Amino acid sequence: MSKRDLPRTIGFGLIILLILGAAIYFFGPRLVYKASQEVSPSAVSAQVDDMPSLADKPKPSEISYMGCPPEGQGGDIQLNLLKNRVDEGSYLAVAYDSLLALRWPKNVEQSLMKDWTDANISFISQYQGMPVMLEGYMLSAKEAPPDTSNCNRNNPDNVDWTVSISKNVGDDPSQAVNALITPRIRATHTWTLDLIRSIVVYSHAQVRVSGWLLFSPDHPGAVGKTTATLWGIHPVMQIEILQNGIWVALDKLAN
């Protein structure tokens, strides 16, 4: 290499380093997150931060709703039964980052629970069905598409509501946790989408959501786009708003 070419080579190298630095800055967290999901199905997960571990989790209790049985219609029957549980629990507070740290074996994605290996079942069962409380902020609240758990019905009374919960106000949905409010649970509350949006979403109120921790393998493509994880709270059993240092049930704020 001639002395004349040396500055050009150094300049080209600096440009490459700048491009790599920008890529790491903007996409690094997401790339690291995706890599963290490469979990061996036979691995035994270590305790995640302050995430509690229950040796004996409450057995789900389900009911039929408006003619739709607990197992729904079609799809993943075992998953539908978990989605349609209606029992209350002794909810345990979990840190937001601890929930995001939960992993899963890649080969359970887009597969029915009945087809999971024993190792996969053991891995997911460490936290599946845990009664949890999660604090944060709601980014959005909207109707979900028809689902087999609700017998594929598309009328407003028979679809889930999806609420996106972030750690901080204004976080991107790609770093949020999804929680679903089912028709069966709504029937016991005075919640409406307008109420949730006006009192929780639009006002940026701090919220505490209680419900059942669920791993849903159906939409891995959503990770890093509309959610940070396939773990979520489903169904939501209680919604509370922090007012003057006191948690107030959303039902009490309805007109």
Domain range annotation of the chain: 37-253
What's at 51, amino acid-wise? Answer: M
Question: 3-state class of 127 per DSSP?
Answer: coil
Q: How confident is the model at residue 165 (pLDDT cuts 50, 70, 90)?
A: very high
Query: Is pLDDT of 150 > 50?
Result: yes
d(CA 71, CA 79): 8
CATH number 3.40.50.300 given to 37-253 = no
Query: Is pLDDT of 105 > 70?
Result: yes
Read off the pLDDT of each residue in 201-211 and give the average, rounded to a whole number: 97
Read off the pLDDT of each residue in 185-195 and give the average, rounded to a whole number: 97
Average pLDDT value over all residues in the chain: 86
Query: Is pLDDT of 163 > 50?
Result: yes
Q: Which of 244, 172, 173, 178 shows the shortest CA–CA distance to 205?
A: 244
Give the pLDDT confidence score for residue 12 in this predicted structure.
52
Burial of 134 (0-12, 13-18, 19+ CB in 10 A): buried
d(CA 113, CA 149): 14
Give the pLDDT confidence score for residue 220 in this predicted structure.
96
CB 182 within 8 A of CB 160: yes
Percent of residues, the chain, with pLDDT higher than 70: 80
Q: How confident is the model at residue 254 (pLDDT cuts 50, 70, 90)?
A: confident
DSSP string for residues in 31-46: HHHHHHT-B-TT--PP
Query: Is pLDDT of 255 > 90?
Result: no
d(CA 204, CA 51): 26
d(CA 129, CA 244): 32
Q: How confident is the model at residue 222 (pLDDT cuts 50, 70, 90)?
A: very high
Give the pLDDT confidence score for residue 6 in this predicted structure.
46
Give the pLDDT confidence score for residue 16 in this predicted structure.
53
Query: Is pLDDT of 38 > 60?
Result: no
d(CA 137, CA 255): 22
Q: Which of 234, 232, 231, 235 shows the shortest CA–CA distance to 105?
A: 231
Q: How confident is the model at residue 27 (pLDDT cuts 50, 70, 90)?
A: very low
Q: Which of 138, 135, 156 shows the shortest CA–CA distance to 199?
A: 138
CB 148 within 8 A of CB 74: yes
In a 13 Å sphere around the CA of 100, the CA atoms on its Cβ side amount to 22
Query: Is pLDDT of 31 > 90?
Result: no
Q: How confident is the model at residue 107 (pLDDT cuts 50, 70, 90)?
A: very high
Give the pLDDT confidence score for residue 52 in this predicted structure.
79
Q: How confident is the model at residue 41 (pLDDT cuts 50, 70, 90)?
A: very low
CB 93 within 8 A of CB 192: no
Give the number of other CB atoms < 10 A from CB of residue 130.
Answer: 21
d(CA 162, CA 197): 12
